[in-house]
Structure 1
Amino acid sequence: MRLTIVGHLKGQLTAATRIAMNRGAAVTHAESVEQALRTLRAGRGADLIMCDVALDVRELVSSLSAERFHVPVVACGVDNDTRAAVDAIRAGAKEYIPLPPDPELIGAVLAAVADDSRDMVFQDPSMISLVQLATQIAASSASVLITGESGSGKEMLARLVHEKSPRAKAPFVSVNCAAIPEQLLESELFGHEKGAFTGASARRIGKFEEASGGTLLLDEISEMDVRLQAKLLRALQERVIDRVGGGKPVPVDIRVIATSNRALADEVRKGTFREDLLYRLNVVNLKIPPLRERPADVLALAAHFASKYARINGFPIRPLSTEARAELARQRFPGNVRELENTIHRAVLLAVGSEIGADAIRTPDGAPVSTARGAAAQAVETAEQIARSFVGKTLADVERDLIFDTLGHTRGNRTHAANILGISIRTLRNKLNQYDDEGFAVPPPQAGVAAA
């Protein structure tokens, strides 16, 4: 845990620093918002920022956002300064810690930040074998490619590889390649020199340098532009990077883990991903099964999230009822672990009584999941019935029936029918002439409807 404390280190903040260090945090101090930003630009990253409300918390939060530093901020101040606490939360601070510092409160905040990124719960045999493989290869420096559907836990597995590796005490730095505009991603990864481009008002150390000695996670790497992939390949091969606007290569010592929710081999065939980069990244491939293929994980994760969100919301920890567990086991969870987490969070908030019942398992709009599942099953059944109706027919038969049905819908208007079918009026007329020659009854325009 890397903690940056922003403010003048007078008695109470000094005590907070000491408590955080005793809890295992690596603490950096900055006296002002600008000094904190300079520290971050220099590559001394942070997992959490604690800012004195005597400073401008809003300026800090907005500056972090403007410079794409994704770091949560908690405010701290004397416990009787209610107005400052409210203003800090409105400015974007995640929490408010009253001073003098309470060791348990600071410990809880640090643990919450750590837990958000490191909780990995699994019981399914497929995940047990996958985690064993991840642990086995963690000791090496080999690049790792983690694949799986969105929300299946790719970043969690990447963090586990880092924590089981000799680099565990060094930084773990994550970059979401899909969330950063193409024109900014190069600077985000490799950094830039002052004046390198419009808006580059100061030198910025990139994620490669920030992660030096540790692990760099390139999340959803399939979204990276092909031109930038060439520079990434060089960085991986030669272990040097070039800052944007820089004059000399900068050596880096990192392990790279990449994730993708797409099959990169398919992207190579489409020309959107470099084959040589795929080979460089795919030394080891860890493929996470979707949650629907890990039934034993559903209930284990559900119990974990129920406990987590009860603590966060100040509720008593309640077990899932037998009916609720059965309902969860029936779900498909297309959004994987992320969807399950949101489902359980809602259930914790909606449940009444000593257990979390099946009636608390609801969709985001408040509908019981059984109703949603019934509607989905009915839609699937309808689709299957439609598909079965085509069995035994030729493609020409299906095409003719579709044209005639569309003409019926447009009351015989050829132009409207052609627009709906996505063909030209000439093509439609040729088809109708063909059907007429073959002896089929072509639907005529209805009364009052022009043929064209």
Structure 2
Amino acid sequence: MDKSILIVDDEESIQKVLTMYLDNLGYKTHSIGKLSETYSVLKKSRFELILLDINLPDGNSLDYLNKIREISNNSSIIIITAQDTMANAIDAIKNGAYDYITKPFDFNSDLALTIDRAIKNSINTNKIIELEDNLKDKEDSAFDIIGKSPQMTKIFKDIGRISQSDHTVLITGESGTGKELVAKAIHISGPNSTKNYVQINITAIPSDLLESELFGYEKGAFTGAQSKKIGRFEEANGGTILLDEIGDMSYDLQSKILRVLEERKFYRLGAQKPVEFNCRIITSTNKNLEREVENKNFREDLFFRLNSINIELPPLRERKSDIPLLIDFFLIKYANKNESPKSIDDDFLNVFLKYDWPGNIRELENSIKKLVLMMPDSELTLDSIKEHLPRVFNKSENDNNKINYLKLIENIFSDTNLPETNLYKFITDKIDKPLIESVLIKNKGDLRLSSKKLGLDEDSLRKKIIDLNIDSSIIKDF
């Protein structure tokens, strides 16, 4: 039986391109452009997959995704959109979409594989979490995670998939990458979103006070305990608790946290009876916990317990395509009251794109905040950075003068004539000739100076010149 795909998009050009692509893959397709047409077609025909645009002439398809799933009889649904936002990604996955892809399409093997898997797993789409429909009504400030890069789109999908379960989640990433925001997004996207969300920073509380802060204490448990105090776990009962920077927790307290995870109960200090609780536990750290386990700083059994679901946030230097979005977001966030947000020029953006942001999003946010405060002009320019962010400017200038060897290798790998074997010789030959030519030209054809610069004896250099067919006219006395 032919595998059928329904294309729902109001742009005829998109319909035609997808139809040609899918026909070549051997699929049977049918194209429509409205939500109302979708309902009527699905009532008459069965499709293994629906490619569904978000913004249609008669409505936003995400608002009707559950109805479409119900009518479609377990079709897989892949959301397609040019509006690549975090809210859309979470909303799509949360409401049962199999996947979420953005326009313009990259017609590669990955897309074909995604379509194939969606069709094969159409029945399993019913198992994808059905969350509450009120996510779109939440305040945007709850979702200050900005990004359209592939890395962040994956993070948004992960949030949508895991948010309903009560599994422990470990969020890892460098300082300033937004671990706390991801934890909050998981809570708000889940079924316990109306319950308490409690966050505790392990490093902010002295180790000798951390246990009483987490578990609470009874009256008279220690000197100064004049009344009973509930701890953070008890406060989070029914909701979510984030143990931020869990990697800095003392080894002794780690064993107690492990027992809490296993038994779902704890003892207040000085108490004889345990307190049972039921809340989602999210942990985060900027440390490499596997290395901490090897160094005997972190319990291996606790690591395995925490690491059942891991979300690893990329550093900002690995998703620089998100920097313009982040700049716009923070310019709006920190705009002076009754004033329009400041703008930036191209030179400003280029410096921010060149800089590696070791402090990640937190550093970028503080930089924009400082510039908005310090600069009276309506436009932020290169001079703004020179004056108020000299470190950023100087570092980006230095980096600009460095050769990106990784990019050089990537360019070589994009060569369509790249051989299947002898790759090392192919690459070194590609580099050898322009390198030797450049050194010879720089040394005005002096063979002795060039061989010394290259670290080759003159005979070896002469042989390479011949083997690589280098123009001998640039060499003196060859």
Match of 1:342 in 2: 366
2:394 equivalent among 371, 374, 378: 371
Query: 2:240 aligned with 1:215, yes or no?
Result: yes
Equivalent of 2:269, from 244, 259, 273?
A: 244
The structure-2 alpha-carbon separation of the partners of 1:362 and 1:275, relative to structure 1 and needing over 3 Å to count, comes to farther
Q: TM-score, normalised by structure 2?
A: 0.53
Cα offset, 1:367, TM superposition: 2.7
* Structure 1 position 194 matched with structure 2 position 219: yes
Q: Is the 8 A contact 1:142 1:284 kept in 2?
A: yes
Change beyond 3 A, Cα 1:180–1:118: farther
Query: Matched residues in 2 for 1:143 and 1:362: separation?
Result: 45
Give the whole-Å Cα distance in 2 for the aligned partners of 1:363 and 1:202: 54
Displacement of 1:320 in angstroms is 1.9
Percent identity (aligned): 42
Contact 1:351 1:357 in 2 (8 A): no
- Equivalent residue for 1:154? 179
Partner of 1:330: 354
| Partner amino acid, structure 2, of 1:335 | G
RMSD between superposed Cα atoms in Å? 2.3
State the Cα deviation string for residues 309-359 of structure 1 (Å, max 9, x = none).
014x55431222222111211111000000000111112123343322222
Distance 2:259 2:354 in 1: 47
Amino acid of the structure 2 residue aligned with 1:369? V
Q: Please report how far the alpha carbon of residue 372 of structure 1 lies from its aligned counterpart in structure 2 after TM superposition.
A: 4.3
Flag the structure with more relative contact order, 1 or 2, with Cα contacts below 8 A and sequence separation at least 6. Answer: 1
CA spacing shift, 1:115–1:342, aligned 2, 3 Å? farther
- Structure 2 SS opposite 1:139: coil
Letter in 2 for 1:371: N
* Matched AA of 1:129: K
Amino acid at match of 1:326: N
Paired positions, count: 266
CA 1:254 to 1:332, structure 2 compared with 1: closer, same or farther past 3 Å? same
C-alpha separation between the residues in 1 aligned to 2:240 and 2:376?
44
Query: Residue 240 of structure 2 contacts residue 282 of structure 2 at CA under 8 Å; is this kept in 1?
Result: yes
2-structure distance, mates of 1:222, 1:273 = 7
Using the size of structure 1 for normalisation, the TM-score is: 0.56
Answer whether contact 2:142 2:185 (CA < 8 A) is retained: no
Unaligned segments of structure 1, at least 5 residues: 1-113, 382-452
Which moves more between the two structures, 133-142 or 284-293?
133-142
Q: 1:357 corresponds to which residue?
A: 381
- Is 2:357 the counterpart of 1:317? no
CA distance in 1: counterparts of 2:330 and 2:369, whole angstroms: 7
CA change 1:293–1:306 in 2 (3 A) is same
Alpha carbons 1:170, 1:214 under 8 Å: kept: yes
Is residue 136 of structure 1 aligned with residue 161 of structure 2? yes
Secondary structure of the 1:361 match is: helix
Which residue number in structure 1 is paired with residue 114 of structure 2? none
Contact 2:266–2:275 (CA<8 Å) still a contact in 1? yes
Which whole-Å deviations, capped at 9, do the CAs of 1:144-176 have from their partners, x for residues lacking one? 000000001100111111111111111110010
In 2 relative to 1, CA 377–319 (structure 1 residues): closer, same or farther, beyond 3 Å?
closer
Q: Is the 8 A contact 1:299 1:325 kept in 2?
A: yes
Alpha-carbon distance, 1:374 to partner = 4.1
Q: Which runs of 5+ in 2 are unaligned?
A: 1-138, 405-478
Q: What's the offset of the Cα at 1:373?
A: 3.7
For the Cα contact (< 8 Å) 1:306–1:344, is it kept in 2?
A: yes
Work out whether 1:176 is the aligned partner of 2:201: yes
Give the conservation status (yes or no) of the 8 Å contact 1:318–1:356: yes
Whether the 8 Å CA contact 1:359–1:368 is kept in 2: the answer is no
